[in-house]
A and B are shown apart, each in its own frame.
Chain A
Amino acid sequence: MTIDRTELDLLRGALGDLATAHPGDLRDALRDFGWQDLLAEDPEVAVGVLFRLQGERLTPETLLDEVVLAALDPAGAALASAVAFPLPGQDLSSRYDHDGVRVDGLLTRPVSAGETVLVPCRALGGAAVLVVPVDGLQQAPTSGIDLDRPWVRVSGRAHPGGVDHVGGSDAWERMLAAGRRALAAELIGIGTRMLDLAVEHTSSRVQFGQALASFQVVRHKLADVRVWGEVAGLAFSAAWEDTDPLAAALAKSAAVRYSSTAREHVQQLLGGMGFSWEHDFHRYLRRALVLEPLLGGATTLRSEIGSAVVESGRLPDLAAL
């Protein structure tokens, strides 16, 4: 399916209106809208438009679970209602071995009693993807750095007899790639909004008789942020043309570079205003600090990309002419 620019703008507008009208129940509204069908038909558009919007609007809800579940299986949503993501900064923090199943992960929202969660685990000989009833697990709402999304720490033991093994390393690799592409789009949305804040502020605020944005040192910092935004946008698109999971890792890595450069420079250029509680900047900063390490931060991703390149002995032919 190809979608033209007008249709894309219409979709952006429609999802934007939906996010405005449903600040507390966006997932339900998107289900009624048919976003899941779009995800099946044209995942690049579905993920690109929605997750950029999630980043720009700092939506409390995210459809990251839906994207990752769909990558396991087109009917993945029927297997579980949520994903226990590996803790940010850690590779597969849940374990499945001769001691049984030990869950230690992060949920994007509280999961109701009686439901099941999908738990990617480190297992003997690789990864295992398990369906685990949530009832035996502890859910601890977080009150950490991201104020606007109800992240939940989930932990506990599950009896191996009570879980379903629904996938191995290959399945997890697909899920990871899908999650990284979605997070890349969300970080691009965050980076773009931060850059907009800085452009607005430095263009309107006058010091020494000049708009701040007329000073070269300011212009160059904003230009640097913009460069990485351009790269991140292209890397996101390229992650759909190659099935190699490396393309998804490269997209996330580029998006992390964009958002982290934006955090650094935009904070500085907003001056005292950006340090105030009242200004929106810190909310973007806080969300970025959670999403950047989720499913692999800069160092993890680069190590992974480097190891893949070294092991294969040749550079992958991604992004062919």
Chain B
Amino acid sequence: MTLMTGAVPGTVSQVREQFGVWLHENEELLRRLCAPGMDVAATFTAQRELQKLLFDSGWIRLGWPEELGGLGGEMILRAVVVEELCSAGYPPPFSFGTQEVLGPAIARYAPPQLAADLLPRLLSGQEYWCQGFSEPGAGSDLASLRCKATEDGADWVIAGEKVWTSWAQVADRCLLLVRTGDANSGSRGITAVMMDMDTPGIDLRPLVSMNGDAEFCSLYLDDVRVPRSRTLGDVGGGWAVAMTILASERGAAAWQRQTWMRCRLQDLLRQAPHLPPAVAGEAYELIHSLRLLSRRTVRALSRGEDIGATPSFDKLLMSTAEKFLFAAALEHLGPTVLFDGDAASAGWRNDYLYSRASSIYGGAAEIQRDIVAGRILRLPGRR
């Protein structure tokens, strides 16, 4: 079953039903692509294949404009696809998150021709992209970033350092925030550009995180030339691009995270028969809370409505639910999970360790609380 332009299911329930049939037809292939316990290289190969499969059959082209390689319709249709995939036992790969985090910003801010060229490459798994936001001196205070871009003819010449860039070692391109204004221009002097990772001058060093993965990288940029035609949005308008990306991460990508947490809770219920009911109930309650928040965000984004500061709620619940779930798993799965080398135990340990970062990445919990206090409660600031 392949979706065609002009014959696209228009409602959530139609997608749910038709995608269910497709899942059934492709069970064998999906099982192979989503098999647990693959190493990083195999995981990325498999997720490219899965992206291509879902792109070619049309499912993840739902909700993207036709001129950008999509099939049109509302973005909520894609959220159903991820949910159904996950509840059928195929957890969404990392690249699914990336397409939701970076895709909307490209669609909105890249020059139309560039967007039409690039977006299908991301969606179809032909390419993998990373994002260059944080710097050694600019984490929570992102607007203080210093990575400098200078105009030189038709190019930006970029020099500086980026850190915590996920999977840069396998990425084909990087959505990079650079300073184009003067050193004190703050959020007004930032520009977003799309940098090819094979450009000369990029030095990349892995940064092994505490779960043992070399997910993160440091990027050292030594006069890297990026065509100015690769600028996203206005020069000096990078902050708006960054905010779109962070809103997508706190909103739509949180929906994926929630579907995944539901699967992991289900696993936990199976593997920890002595899990106290009150703990199971609280885990469900917190995941359900995230689901309610993120469903609202997905619906609003899908209708093109302004979501204001509300994704900060979503991000806070995402980390609260994730930390609770995996702390519960570690506490109640018994000594196996602490000591044994089997894939399931290693998975729980990894997810627990990774959950510790959930209140740090994508805007730390403190930043989210600042946003709620300032923009929602409108508390007075410092004099």
Contacts and interface: CB of A to CB of B under 8 A. Distances in A.
Contact of A219 (B12, B277, B379): B379
Contact of A203 (B79, B374, B376, B379): B379
A301 B284 CA distance: 12
B220 interface: no
Nearest to B383: A210
A315 B266 contact: yes
A302 B291 contact: no
B316 A227 contact: yes
Interface in B197-229: none
Contacts of A318: 288
Contacts of B368: 223
Contacts of B376: 223, 226
Interface string B260-299: 0010011001000001111111111100110111011011
Contacts of B299: 321
A250 interface: yes
B381 A321 contact: no
Contacts of B382: 210, 214
A213 B372 CA distance: 13
Interface in B353-383: 366, 368-370, 372-374, 376-377, 379-383
A309 B277 CA distance: 9
Contact of B285 (A234, A305, A321): A305
A17 B369 CA distance: 35
B377 A321 contact: no
B369 A224 contact: yes
Contacts of A306: 275-284
A310 B278 contact: no
Nearest to B290: A231
Interface in A124-156: none
A210 B381 CA distance: 9
Interface residues of A, number: 41
B292 A307 contact: no
A238 B266 contact: no
A315 B284 contact: yes
A114 interface: no
A283 to B, nearest CB: 23
A302 B372 contact: no
Nearest to A304: B281
B285 A253 contact: yes
Contacts of A213: 373, 379-380
Contacts of A224: 369
Contacts of A231: 289, 292-293, 313, 317
Contacts of A253: 281, 285
Interface in A280-304: 299, 301-304
Majority DSSP secondary structure for residues of B touching A: helix
Contact of A222 (B76, B279, B282, B377): B377
A319 B288 contact: yes
B30 interface: no
A14 interface: no
A302 B379 contact: no
B380 A203 contact: yes
Contacts of B285: 250, 253-254, 302, 305
Given A305-B284, A306-B280, A315-B266, A223 B373 contact: yes
A222 B284 CA distance: 25
A199 B252 CA distance: 31
A95 B299 CA distance: 47
B80 interface: yes
Nearest to B83: A321
Contact of A303 (B281, B316, B374, B380): B281
Interface of B: 12, 76, 79-80, 83, 262, 265-266, 269, 275-285, 288-289, 291-293, 295-296, 298-299, 310, 313, 316-317, 366, 368-370, 372-374, 376-377, 379-383
Given A214-B382, A306-B277, A321-B76, 14 more contacts: A210-B383, A222-B373, A224-B369, A227-B317, A227-B372, A230-B310, A231-B293, A234-B293, A235-B289, A306-B281, A307-B277, A315-B262, A321-B295, A321-B298
25 contacts: A199-B379, A213-B380, A214-B383, A216-B370, A219-B377, A219-B379, A227-B313, A227-B316, A227-B372, A230-B293, A230-B310, A231-B289, A231-B293, A231-B313, A234-B293, A235-B288, A299-B278, A302-B285, A303-B281, A305-B277, A310-B275, A310-B280, A320-B12, A321-B79, A321-B298
Interface of A: 199, 202-203, 209-211, 213-214, 216, 219-220, 222-224, 226-227, 230-231, 234-235, 238, 250, 253-254, 299, 301-307, 309-310, 313-315, 318-321
Top 10 nearest A-B pairs by Cβ distance? A306-B281, A306-B277, A306-B280, A302-B281, A305-B281, A219-B373, A223-B372, A223-B369, A213-B379, A234-B292
